[in-house]
């Protein structure tokens, strides 16, 4: 994780850009309380092809807007304070995360792939927009920010110009980082301060872009990010074509057995993960697929039923038309009789007027 993110953990949040804090946040730290909610497990493996479709409801957009184009998900920083970020709605407990990503260009712009737990264990990839030759890997245990010597920079060609494969494999014994399938770093459990700083609690996956070079950030952070970010030259866009996530543990949810956050304290609830069931559920069957699954006899039966229904509708429509015509004839006949009656009365009135009958009737009254 970047120095900026760790400074926020030291209580300097007011000095930092708000979107940065949004990328590394824990709503409830199990090291401080036993009332934190359980973590929903992935419990399976799944590949998100973001060129074909959006990430879906197993991910949550925590900041900004994620757009989708021909090359997949687009995390575009369009103005100061913009920091498009998504995080998984599930956790993995040991596992592998593979991301095909093209880092955003731009001085001070940071593209991030983060695995993070509720108690602030963390495994990172961070790519600086102004650095087109190196990528950084990092890790932290339980939010320990007493030193910043864990980061390692790895040579890479044009990560802002091309999609590259960044993979993290995390087990109880070690964490390994890969670029395009080649291992670039291995961290053994005992190498992380005797295991105390080794990430070992269930983690979510987070992808996002943020401005390490924002002018309000700490000067050391701005220097680390390559200088101040010029928002007028944006938008700065990070692209993600696909994400593959594998959970090495199988269960429905994870919980903390105590307040140590150690690997052995994590409890795995047996059963099928609701997330796994959702991801592995077959797509809805279309009408044409239902039709194709019918036997020839069933198709004949359906056809006959449809034909009978259509015939019934035709007969009903014809009956309705005939009935309406008959009703119309009756109404016309009644109207004709009324017209003839009114006409007769009018003719009689005119005849009486001509004979002076009207005046005689008036005098009599």
Query: Which tokens hold the place of 195?
Result: 């295991």
Which residues have a Cβ under 8 Å from the Cβ of 69 and sit 6 or more positions away? none
Burial environment of residue 149 by CB neighbours within 10 A (0 to 12, 13 to 18, 19 or more): exposed
The active-site residue, picked from 74, 96, 98, 126, is 126
Q: Which residues contact 101 (CB under 8 A, 6 or more apart)?
A: 111, 113, 127, 163, 164, 166, 207, 238, 239, 240, 241
Read off φ and ψ for residue 284, nearest 5 degrees.
Answer: -55, 140
Write the secondary structure of 24-55 as one string of H (helix), E (strand) and C (coil). Answer: CCCCCCCCCCCCCCCEEECCCEEEEECCCCCC
d(C-alpha 21, C-alpha 3), whole Å: 12
Catalytic residue (one of 122, 190, 216, 351): 122
Q: Catalytic site residue 126?
A: yes
338 is catalytic: no
> Which residues are annotated as catalytic?
122, 126
């Amino acid at each position: 994780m970047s120095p900026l993110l760790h400074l926020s953990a030291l209580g300097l949040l007011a000095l930092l850009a708000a979107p940065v804090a949004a990328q590394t946040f824990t709503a409830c730290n199990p090291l401080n309380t036993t009332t934190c909610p359980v973590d929903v497990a992935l419990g399976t493996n799944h590949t998100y092809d973001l060129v074909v479709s959006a990430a879906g409801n197993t991910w949550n957009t925590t900041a900004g807007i994620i757009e989708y184009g021909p090359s997949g998900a687009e995390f575009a920083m369009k103005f100061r304070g913009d920091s498009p970020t998504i995080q998984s709605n599930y956790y993995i407990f040991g596992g592998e995360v593979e991301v095909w990503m093209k880092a955003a260009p731009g001085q001070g712009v940071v593209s991030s792939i983060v695995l993070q737990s509720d108690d602030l264990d963390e495994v990172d990839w961070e790519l600086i927009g102004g650095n087109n030759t190196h990528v950084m890997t990092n890790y932290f245990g339980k939010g320990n920010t007493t030193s910043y010597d864990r980061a390692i920079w790895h040579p890479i060609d044009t990560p802002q110009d091309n999609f590259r494969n960044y993979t993290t494999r995390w087990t109880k014994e070690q964490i390994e980082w890969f670029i395009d399938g080649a291992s670039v770093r291995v961290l053994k459990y005992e190498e992380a301060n005797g295991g105390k700083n080794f990430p070992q609690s269930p983690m979510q996956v987070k992808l996002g872009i943020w401005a390490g070079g924002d002018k309000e950030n700490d000067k050391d952070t701005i220097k680390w990010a390559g200088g101040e970010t010029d928002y007028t030259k944006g938008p700065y866009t990070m692209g993600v074509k696909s994400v593959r996530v594998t959970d090495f543990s199988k269960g429905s949810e994870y919980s903390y057995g105590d307040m140590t956050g150690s690997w052995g304290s994590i409890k795995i609830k047996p059963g099928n993960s609701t997330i796994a069931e959702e991801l592995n559920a077959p797509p809805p069957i279309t009408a044409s697929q239902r039709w194709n699954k019918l036997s020839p006899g069933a198709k004949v039966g359906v056809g006959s039923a449809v034909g009978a229904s259509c015939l019934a509708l035709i007969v009903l429509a014809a009956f309705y038309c005939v009935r309406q015509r008959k009703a119309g004839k009756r109404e016309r006949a009644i109207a004709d009789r009324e017209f003839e009656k009114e006409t007769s009365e009018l003719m009689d009135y005119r005849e009486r007027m001509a004979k002076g009958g009207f005046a005689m009737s008036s005098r009599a009254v």
